[in-house]
A and B are shown apart, each in its own frame.
Chain A
Amino acid sequence: MNALEQAQDILAAWVQAWHTPEDNRFDAQVAPADLISTVQALDDHGWGYLVAITGLDHGAEAGEMEVLYHFCRGAAVLTLRVAIARGQAAVPSVCAIIPYASVFERELAEMLGVEVYGTPDPSRLFLPDDWPEAVYPLRKDAELD
């Protein structure tokens, strides 16, 4: 059994849909409520490491955003895709399981306006102190000078 098949096994209980966008990659659609359980399961089995968190804004018309959690093990990349409503963009923090995710979550919050509830340090990481409130630069409709 290769690494991705193992991951498929571990996460079978929570994943709504699987996609194979490329060789060595699996995308797993996960409900926001199941995110912590899936990350915990990966951690319990020692499957790979969290390499990055990507926020995707699909625009005001679509009204949807996605938060992607990329885990790597050797050449295999497993992406947990969490779809959230753009109006109530929020995901739970994974820092209780993966403490170093803090910097990734701070970036996600300030750049895309996704609330990461339970994150240990909600302060800004990159944006300056005088950056206006509620302006999230990586949202598609952000109005920047």
Chain B
Amino acid sequence: MSKEQFTIPIGPQHPALKEPGHFTLTVDGEVVTGASVRLGYAHRGIEKAVESRNWVQDLYLLERICGICSHIHATAYCLGVEKLAGVTAPPRAQAIRVLVAELERIHSHLLWLGVAAHQAGFDTLFMYSWRDRETVMEVLEQLTGNRVNYSANLLGGVKFDVDTRVLETILSGLDFLETRTHHYLDIVSGDRIFLQRTRGIGMMTSEQAERLGVTGPTARASGVRRDIRVDAPYAAYDRYPIQVVVETTGDLEARFIVRLKELLETYHLIRTLLDGLPEGDLKTRMPRRIAAGETISRVEAPRGELFYFIKSDGGDQPARIKVRTPTLSNMASVTQLAVGHQLADMPMLLTGIDPCFSCNDRLTTVQTSGESETWTWEKLRQYGIASYRERG
């Protein structure tokens, strides 16, 4: 190792990721020798704020932790509070919760596919995948009235029903998306130039994945068979079981394949669900005050396990709500895996976990020693693309 070591701060403004985080990379030439992270740029103090609002107001606040996976936050919260109150939402409501959660997963995975393709310099894939994502966005809008923050949940049930017209839009949308997903699977596992950026990059064995605490598709791409929808079924997942998608290679390519194959599973689940949607009420009565106690609610968000700890002291406001989002768990893997990789691989490594900073923040100050230069995310992305172009 040479004596020359440079510290490269990246962020916190990331024009490409549209979300703020700060990474400090130590490099020896082109090789990363150390990495640290600081978050907090989108921290809004939600865990504190929920303690001074009532149970109903908190539903709206917690749904806004994340703009991408808003519904799953609301679902985790509702299931937890209902458990404390000794109330169970009707079967039709539980099925609609699953329906919206799976539509949200489609939107989230396609959004990620586009962002990841863009980081690799494959903007055609980015634009096509985002065009296709509009299909599910329109379904969500027709179903809930909103493209994001669907506000589908109520304490004790859901707000809306699925009518025949929406049913047809969903089914035809799924047929189109299924064809497109097969096409994307061919691209990410067959395009030679794209594979240069993903195959054998960011390798993580299943032992490493366990040691680094990763979760969701990132863990499943390393052979860790863990999915809360199967391990601890919630809402209506016991009625609509899914096959857990696992790959064992543990590189970036595997993370693409896992997410795309999960989409195929999701299409299948939604069709089964719509085929046998239980009849009945959409909501049940909830008390204003929630019985004293503590509960834990675990759900499978698009990025992995989302964990809620909810404590009530018997009042109309929670005593404490602790939220552990999947990105926080996955972040440790980025700083660990970065070491030994080329600087040019960093954008793809970070993107590989599908980071969601707003979820997280709720992570870095740069030590600039000697001469240093702050790189923007866009500059690093361009650097990565140019570096691989030169190598041919």
Contact = CB atoms under 8 A, between A and B. Distances in A.
A83 B143 CA distance: 47
A67 B184 CA distance: 45
A134 to B, nearest CB: 17
A99 B307 contact: no
A21 B295 CA distance: 8
Contact of A126 (B40, B231, B311): B40
Interface in A83-128: 98-104, 111, 121, 123-128
A100 B48 contact: no
Given A100-B212, A100-B213, A21 B40 contact: no
Interface residues of B, number: 35
Given A68-B309, A123-B38, A125-B38, 19 more contacts: A22-B295, A24-B232, A25-B296, A49-B210, A51-B324, A52-B307, A55-B322, A70-B296, A77-B296, A77-B298, A100-B211, A100-B212, A111-B47, A121-B36, A123-B365, A125-B39, A126-B40, A126-B43, A142-B48
B329 interface: yes
Given A129-B365, A138-B48, A144-B48, A74 B232 contact: yes
B309 A54 contact: yes
Contacts of A138: 47-48
B83 interface: yes
Contacts of A111: 47
A75 B234 CA distance: 10
A21 B294 contact: yes
A32 interface: no
Contacts of A103: 328, 331-332, 363
A99 B332 contact: yes
B307 A70 contact: yes
Nearest to A128: B40
Interface residues of A, number: 38
Contacts of A21: 293-295
B362 interface: yes
B361 interface: yes
10 contacts: A52-B324, A74-B232, A77-B296, A77-B298, A99-B211, A100-B213, A111-B47, A124-B38, A126-B363, A127-B43
Given A77-B296, A126-B40, A127-B43, A51 B305 contact: yes
Contacts of B293: 21
B320 interface: yes
Contacts of A101: 213
